Amino acid sequence: MNDSVKPNDSAPDDLASRFPTAYTILFLLIIFVAALTWIIPAGQYERAMNESVGREVAVPGTYELVEANPQGFVDVMLAPTAGFYDPDSYAANAIDVALFVLFLGGFLGVMNATGAIDTGIRSAMRHLKGHEIWMIPILMLLFALGGTTYGMAEETLAFYAILIPVMIAAGYDSITGVAIILIGAGIGVIGSTINPFATVIAANAADIPFTDGLALRLVILLGGLLICTAYVMRYAKRVQADPTRSVVAKQREAHRKLFLQGHEDDFKDVRLTRTQMLVLMIFALTFVVMIWGVSSQGWWMASMGALFLGSAIVIGIIARLGEKRLTGSFVDGARDLLGVALVVGLARGIVVIMEQGMIADTILHSAETSLGGLPPLIFIHVMFWIEAGMSLFVPSSSGLAVLSMPILAPLADFANVGRDLVVTAYQSANGLVNLINPTFAVVIGGLAIGRVSYDRWLVFIWPLLLILTLFVSLVLSVGVFL
């Protein structure tokens, strides 16, 4: 966030300055969930290993009340730390994500020290003058492909520092850059097709082939991408024509100074040196390798962190930065993203409190009870909103799938609704909520890198969120009758 990461980097308007930072919002949510453990009865389902999912899942019909374990002051204070490394059945540990963010920051710090990104941006904008708007649909399509195929989420954090300066230099704003990445990948997740972390795990947990319901998800993906692209392009054109219409207009000069480093008007006669061109080639190759590793080699945060560390060293050697400047630039870059790394553990602390207070299964059991005997159309919409509510506390798509699908998917049989439609409702609800979810580190992290406060993001996205919700609801309604 603009205040919480670098207090002097931006000048937020009066509303933004009064709005709590991401850290405060997340800590208040930890306190709120801890308070719920004193109110909601503790309970648990029995769990059994599901080989197709590769994890233990809840067994329907086995819920029972257990001895309460309400979370107090000490538990609340320990939750952010425990969020980094406590193993749990709903989401991955946060420490690997936090370390990845720091390695990414170090990598970007070394890149900035070479001057290649700054010169490359100015050179690109000189050549794209007048055609910048077409970058938006192309880039959003690419991010959507990442979202729908392998659930691109944390990996997007690597792209904000690259894309936002380009958008600002084109006459748009930081919100435009954030939207291209966050909404682009997000609509891909909402319309997941072969995403192993959402569709495949959820389908396996629901005991159906993951290809069931694929046509309906393609409708959500393509229709949603069209809606989102049109929305972002319309906003970008409006800002380019009149910068005062930007939702972060009062931060415009601070953002230009920060992201463009004073070169916003210097696009003439810029030339990349051979060393800088080689550096940019390695820079681009790093991201190609990252996408290849995640999508086909089973890479996760440790492998990606190692990739960025290795690339930073290679780039430093090629650019002849020297040992002291290389290490200094890496540490300075990591320091710039330290706030993002801390947010990751803080967000996971909410899940820790829910687990230790043993209220997650009770909430799930209440959802199971409320869905019994509903007509098909009402059933699927209630299912959608239950999954949306649970996503606030369990933002992980795989974690939510493992938690909810074994219990809720079989209920579709009694409502005469296909289980594949339940999977579609789950993944679309989770994806929609994760466009604004304050407990989702990808949202808070992306906004922090873009120096966009959370309330400004809500101002920008709420009309789109409403349109997408209505669109998904319509598709789910049609799905009931297919």
How far is the C-alpha of 393 from the C-alpha of 208, rounded, in Å?
A: 26
- Is the torsion defined by CA of 428, 430, 434, 438 positive or negative? positive
Element (H or E) spanning 44, and its range?
strand 43-44
Query: In this model, does residue 168 exceed pLDDT 50?
Result: yes
430: confidence class by pLDDT, cuts 50, 70, 90: very high
Q: Which two tokens stand for residue 318?
A: 């090629």
Closest CA to 210 of 195, 190, 188: 195
Residue, of 120 and 452, whose pLDDT is higher: 452
pTM of the complete model: 0.75
Taking CA atoms, 167 is separated from 108, 172, 245, 276, in Å, by 18, 5, 16, 21
How far is the C-alpha of 44 from the C-alpha of 362, rounded, in Å?
A: 7
Per-residue pLDDT tens digits for 296-329: 787 877 888 899 999 999 999 999 998 999 999 9
How far is the C-alpha of 182 from the C-alpha of 232, rounded, in Å?
A: 11
Query: In this model, does residue 130 exceed pLDDT 90?
Result: no
Gyration radius of the chain's alpha carbons: 23
Check if the beta carbon of residue 144 is closer than 8 Å to that of residue 225.
yes
Query: In this model, does residue 1 exceed pLDDT 60?
Result: no
Residue 180 has phi, psi (to 5 degrees) of: -55, -45
Check if the beta carbon of residue 217 is closer than 8 Å to that of residue 188.
no
How far is the C-alpha of 353 from the C-alpha of 82, rounded, in Å?
A: 9
How many CB atoms sit inside 10 A of residue 222's CB?
A: 13
Per-residue pLDDT tens digits for 64-93: 999 999 999 999 999 888 878 765 434 455
Question: 440 exposed, middle or buried (CB, 10 Å; 0-12, 13-18, 19+)?
Answer: buried
- How big is the chain, counted in residues? 482
How far is the C-alpha of 165 from the C-alpha of 460, rounded, in Å?
A: 19
How far is the C-alpha of 43 from the C-alpha of 34, rounded, in Å?
A: 15
Q: Which two tokens stand for residue 179?
A: 């939207």
Query: In this model, does residue 267 exceed pLDDT 50?
Result: no
Residue 22 CA to chain centroid, in angstroms? 14
Residues ≥6 apart with Cβ < 8 Å to 185? 143, 144, 146, 147, 152, 153, 156
Per-residue pLDDT tens digits for 145-154: 888 987 778 7
How far is the C-alpha of 341 from the C-alpha of 448, rounded, in Å?
A: 10
Among 44-58, 65-79, 160-174, which range has the highest average pLDDT? 65-79
| Domain boundary assignment for the chain | 2-48+56-481
- Helix, strand, coil distribution of the chain in percent, nearest 5: 70, 0, 25
Check if the beta carbon of residue 448 is closer than 8 Å to that of residue 430.
no
- For residue 206, the SS3 value is coil
% of the chain with per-residue pLDDT over 70? 89
Q: Which amino acid is at 300?
A: W
- Cα dihedral value 65, 67, 71, 75, nearest 10: -120
Check if the beta carbon of residue 340 is closer than 8 Å to that of residue 101.
yes
10: confidence class by pLDDT, cuts 50, 70, 90: very low
Tokens 């996205």 correspond to: 461
Residues ≥6 apart with Cβ < 8 Å to 410? 60, 206, 419
Q: Which two tokens stand for residue 66?
A: 């257990």
Residues forming a β-bridge with 65: 43
